[in-house]
Copies of this chain bind each other. A is one copy, B any other.
């Protein structure tokens, strides 16, 4: 379906779990984006060697050629540049995005370039799952605010944020609003992920 000039969607999987909730949701978004004609690639961050930003500043020097740390970010940078849309899929750990996701984000400082950040103008999607009952009690709000602040600052456009409690049992006990969710919670959340996939396809 996807042609040479089809929009590219890059999915950054920020959970260590390959079959976890964020992965399931991201897969749905991926399928929907493909169905809408996009070329989609998913990157499993936990499997990569990505070192923390060392704040050396080399990437911001005149005539710099990007980040000087030789690790798996080097193969990720071209993909991040070329994508028309980025999907960040992360669990909530300790009231914020996973360290896996934050590691990659911090290294995107190297994409600050004279004409602006390489993400400027790109479509951004967020997928987030948590074990606490809701987006406030889980601390998911802190991650959402971080995404809003960061992408607002660099001029990328968040086209959708899909988030939900991944722990139906706990949700039922602690968060009464979604108790009924035990019946068939996945359909609607997965549907939202599909809608996000379509939006990312442009």
Contact = CB atoms under 8 A, between A and B. Distances in A.
B185 A183 contact: no
Contacts of A185: 177, 180
Contacts of A103: 52, 99, 103
A86 to B, nearest CB: 14
A71 interface: no
A37 interface: no
Chain A at the B interface: SS class:
helix
Number of copies: 4
A55 B17 contact: yes
Interface residues of A, number: 61
A114 to B, nearest CB: 17
A177 B183 contact: no
Contacts of A106: 93-94, 98-99
A36 interface: no
Contact of A146 (B99, B109, B136, B142): B142
Contacts of A17: 55
Given A141-B141, A180-B185, A109 B96 contact: no
A15 B53 CA distance: 9
A125 interface: no
Given A99-B99, A176-B164, A183-B180, A136 B139 contact: no
A84 interface: no
Given A16-B52, A183-B183, A146 B96 contact: yes
A52 B99 contact: yes
Nearest to A144: B136
A120 interface: no
A25 B18 CA distance: 40
Nearest to A162: B176
A190 B76 CA distance: 40
B164 A95 contact: no
Contact of A178 (B108, B181, B191): B181
